[in-house]
Amino acid sequence: AGPYYVVGEFLRSNVIESEYCDGVPLFLEVQYVDVASCEPVPVAAVDIWNANATGVYSGISVSGNEAADGVNSTYLRGVQITDHDGVVQFETIFPGHYQGRATHTHLLTHTNATVMPNGTISVWNAPVAHIGQLFWPETLRSAVEATYPYNTNTQDVTSNEEDMWSVLQADASFDPFPQYVYLGDKVEDGIFAWIQIGVNASVDYSTDDYYGVAGYLGEDGGHALDSGIGGGGEGGEGGAGGPPPSGAQRGMMP
């Protein structure tokens, strides 16, 4: 679960834009496996999003997270389609922290998403197979946040132990912490991280209380929805927001 999911983001593996994306490069590889068959889950649409180094999300405009361009901003957001091995790859940055939450990266996965002839993706009627967050070890977070611009983030740090979700989700059979290696001698050189996620590809969580849609990206820019921001964070839990007005969804362009 998690706040600030926006439907209609760009179909791209590199979600780093020219503004508001300074930080430690993070190359993330995720494999999705069906828990019923132990087979990879191909052709699933995976959204990724996280706060930037100073703890601000794009695509939204709410108290405490005012993106510079509000709902029209798209930095550190994107969608990829899993390959035949159920794998997606993203180039992003290590997320910054914000008050009340441990450092985390959001993932949300639709199965049976429709790839349109123009290369866009329609997910409004596609089942939601996974809503989740990746967490990061405190040692890694500390190393990253000693660097610029993370060290300019003035929001209070919340540890993994203090977070409302990470401890509840971690147990002997489930580990929401990716494995990782440095790509150079120091953390500023970048991080390669990977994780395998088991999903039930036959279920649909689109009516679950934890599935909240904060907005959508239309042909005329970003739009906020009144449904709330989804589970977690100071905004609390919210339900699904429903589709935008007919013809309003913006395609996720390569």
CA distance 39 to 85: 8
Q: Where are the alpha helices (DSSP H) in the chain?
A: 138-145, 166-169
Beta sheet of 221-224, edge-to-edge order:
6-7, 215-218, 221-224
pLDDT in tens, the chain (254 residues): 567 899 888 899 999 999 999 999 999 999 999 999 999 999 999 999 999 999 999 998 766 666 778 888 999 999 999 999 999 999 999 999 998 899 999 999 999 887 777 666 777 788 999 998 999 999 999 999 999 999 999 999 999 989 877 666 677 778 889 999 999 999 999 999 999 999 999 999 988 887 888 888 888 888 888 654 443 333 322 233 334 433 333 333 22
| 127 and 203 Cβ atoms separated by less than 8 Å | yes
Look up the pTM and report it: 0.86
